[in-house]
Amino acid sequence: MKILAIETSCDETAISIVKVLNQNPQKLQFKTIKNYIASQINIHRPWGGVVPHLAKREHIKNLPIIFSKIPVQEIKNINLLAVTTGPGLEPCLWTGINFLKEIKEKYFKKTKTIGVSHLNGHLYSFFLTKKYNEFIKNNNLNNLFPAIALIISGGHTILLFLNDLKKIKKLGETRDDAVGEAFDKVARLLNLPYPGGPEIEKLASSIKKSTINFPRPMLKDKNYDFSFSGLKTAVLYYLKNNPRSKKEEIAFSFQQAAFDVLLFKTFKAVQEFQTKSIFVSGGVIANKTLRQIFKKEAKKRNINILMPDFLYNTDNAAMIAVAGYIQKFILNKNYPLKANGILNYS
């Protein structure tokens, strides 16, 4: 079974081919055969963020170029065509959907198609990790559940409870900015280029201890929701009142405040639901400090933690292929080939 997937929900144009190595639902295993990503960072950087019409133009330009790089023998025997249908920037999503229809007409007339949730993509990106592939050699998939999943990206901050692959319940989400968005906005306040996450991480790396006491929004609230816009505003006022402060210290203290909330709420859920595993995904988990603190805390409590390997933290199409397979053959959930025509977790 081979899946070809397309991802164009934001500013990465990506096409992947993923092979399903084991279709036994208790032994699911995937392997990336081809993984192409054309990043548009340089296009959007001068504007300080993603400009939707420029992103759309780049996707339209890049999709056929990337597709032509796939060796002919690899596009034979494709069993499923998957494309991100949302959530994402609508004009960008349509470029992927329309391209999928175009190649279906030309090369894959009889192949089935599936619209995929971008969030499912991040959620299931743990299937592509080395650690999962080791785990599944001596375990069944059931041994990972129940689990808590945290999706932290530029567009989302969501905490989920998974009783198994099928039964998913949303515990909480951000009420305003996503955590990655807060990184991007704080970076702008510090005159750092887009995307802000890696820039803030770089600046913070020279500091060892938090020196500014930024707020930890909603840390003490009983629910599992998040809020990051107040934290960003706190940085804005701090900068206004302390114009000569060190950027490194602001970066470190901001990062620490955001991470404290993510860690606290995730492990509170682990405790409440007595879960065996945590899956953390999305662009923000590229941050090495955050990976370390999650790993350390999980080890202390003796639970599994799965975080995507470097290539699969930020947007890619391999995770869309995995999610496409799971949606189609395990969840029986087929979203229409229509931008943002889908339901989120409830």
Residue 326 C-beta: closest distance to Zn ion, Å? 17
Q: Count helices and strands (H / E) in the chain.
A: 11, 10
Residue 197 C-beta: closest distance to ligand KG4, Å? 2
Q: Which range, of 93-101, 109-117, 310-318, 333-341, touches Zn ion by CB under 5 A?
A: 310-318
**Residue 284 touches which of Zn ion, ligand KG4, none (CB < 5 to 8 A by kind)?**
ligand KG4
Closer Cβ to ligand KG4, 99 or 254, answer by number: 254
**86 touching ligand KG4, by CB under 6 A:** no
Whether residue 339 contacts residue 93, with contact meaning beta carbons closer than 8 Å, is answered with yes
Taking CB under 5 A as the criterion, the residue among 35, 153, 253, 287 binding Zn ion is: 153
Whether residue 16 contacts residue 34, with contact meaning beta carbons closer than 8 Å, is answered with yes
Whether residue 317 contacts residue 15, with contact meaning beta carbons closer than 8 Å, is answered with yes
Please report, as residue ranges, which positions from 283 to 312 form the binding site for ligand KG4 (by CB under 6 A). Answer: 283-284, 286-287
Closer Cβ to Zn ion, 128 or 270, answer by number: 128
Region class of 77: left (phi > 0), else alpha (psi between -120 and 50), else beta: left
Q: Identify the burial level of 227 via C-beta atoms within 10 angstroms of its C-beta, where 0-12 means exposed, 13-18 middle and 19 or more buried.
A: middle
Residue 152 C-beta: closest distance to ligand KG4, Å? 8
**Residue 115 touches which of Zn ion, ligand KG4, none (CB < 5 to 8 A by kind)?**
none
Taking CB under 5 A as the criterion, the residue among 20, 315, 322, 339 binding Zn ion is: 315
Region class of 127: left (phi > 0), else alpha (psi between -120 and 50), else beta: alpha
Q: Which range, of 69-77, 132-140, 153-161, 289-297, touches Zn ion by CB under 5 A?
A: 153-161
CA distances from 139 to 122, 162, 265, 288 (A): 23, 18, 28, 28
Instruction: Tell me the sheet residues that pair with 280.
Output: 150
Q: What residues make contact with ligand KG4 under the rule CB under 6 A?
A: 10, 153-155, 180-181, 183-184, 195-198, 201, 282-284, 286-287, 314-315
